[in-house]
Amino acid sequence: MISTRGSGRYLDATSTDYSEMPAPFSPSPLRRGRAGSGAGRSAKGPRWSVELMNDSDIWRSPAAVRDILAETEAAGFNMASEARVGSLLAVLVASKPGGRFLELGTGTGHGTVWLLAGMDATSRLDTVDTDVDVVAIARRYLGADQRVAFHVMDGGDFLRQATSGFDLIYADAWPGKFTHLDEALALLRPGGLYVIDDLLPQANWPAGHAPKVPALIHEIEQRDEFITVKLAWASGLMLVVRRP
């Protein structure tokens, strides 16, 4: 969406109503074009390319992603996080050098590989899942990385037993999200990030799951010790930060 700068209106990139567009963009309509091609350049302003902001065009994917996704599909596992979420996770952990991170819901390691891609050499990641078969895929490609520890156990048990705090918790499983929320948030360090996804309707939601999502969001938003933002992007995310 493109702001019309003070008019209170937003113009979708596919719209053809340019009557209130600021001068640098009118009268020429938006046109897509490759950088350097001259396409998309208006008579009065700079080139505008919608393609530059294509958030599905991931610039750097971790080397193991393709193989992990191939095995994920072959295994019939349909709960892997999506690439846009992964790229965001990499950025978030990169902002916390030497950090301690927790992933609840290893799955086949798609989120795990993105977290590792953003971590520096001194950071550490604990990742937890109950399914030994899917975790075996993650271990096959990521197990040699000394920065990650795999825990095949119940996420709720892990949260109850954990004694140290985390700088980021990515809750992509039932425990730490729809159950054991208090335990997960208690482990978040000041300034730490709690990240949840799949808050927009998903094809793999079980029957009766939909009402739990707004209840979870409301529960988190009522907690004064946290600052939150909802993102209607990718699978639907919420970022939560513990106030320092």
Render pLDDT for 156-194 as a digit per residue (tens, 0 to 9).
999 999 999 999 999 999 999 999 999 999 999 999 999
Which pLDDT does position 32 carry in this prediction? Answer: 37
Express each pLDDT in 104-159 by its tens digit: 999 999 999 999 999 999 999 999 999 999 999 999 999 999 999 999 999 999 99
Beta bridge partners of 125: 101, 148
- Going from N- to C-terminal start, the domains of the chain cover 1-54, 65-242
Q: For residues 200 and 234, what is the distance between their CA atoms, to the nearest angstrom? A: 8
Query: Domain spanning 65-242: which CATH class is it, in words?
Result: alpha beta
Please check whether residue 132 is in contact with residue 82, taking contact to mean a CB–CB distance below 8 angstroms. no
Which pLDDT does position 106 carry in this prediction? Answer: 97
Q: For residues 167 and 95, what is the distance between their CA atoms, to the nearest angstrom? A: 10
Which pLDDT does position 213 carry in this prediction? Answer: 96
